[in-house]
Amino acid sequence: MPTFRVATPQHAYDAIVERGSIARAGEFLPQGAGKIFAITEERIWSLHGRAIAALADEAIFFPGGEARKRLSEVEALAERMVAAGADRSSVVIALGGGIVNDVAG
C-alpha cells in the first residue's frame, strides 16, 4: 500500500494513497478513537459519503473555495465539533478537495 510519511513539529503520520482506500477507511482508524467527524463538501459526500457514513458519528459540510480558507472557518468547525462532543480522542476524516482538506487538517 503506497504511503507517504508526513512529519510536523508536533506529530508524524502516514498519508495513505491507494485506489479503494475510502471503502477501507475503517481499517486505518486508531484503536480507541473517540467520536469520528467527516468534514466534507456536499458534492463529494454525494459521490463518496456512503463509505464513510457508516464510520462517522457526524458529517459536517464545508463549502470549499479559497475565500473560505480562513482561521475563522477553522474556529467555527472546531466549535461545531466541540458542541457535538469532540475531544482529544476524536478523529477527523477530511473528504474533499484541497480547501476542505486544509481546513479540516
pLDDT tens per residue, range 19-63? 888 888 888 888 999 999 999 999 999 988 988 999 999 999 988
The better pLDDT of the pair 9, 69 is held by 9
Which residues, 6 or more positions from 94, have their beta carbon under 8 angstroms from its beta carbon? 39, 40, 100, 101, 104, 105
pLDDT band at residue 4 using 50, 70 and 90 as cut-offs = confident
In this prediction, residue 36 carries a pLDDT of: 95
Judged by DSSP in three states, 59 sits in strand
Q: Is the pLDDT of residue 1 over 80?
A: no
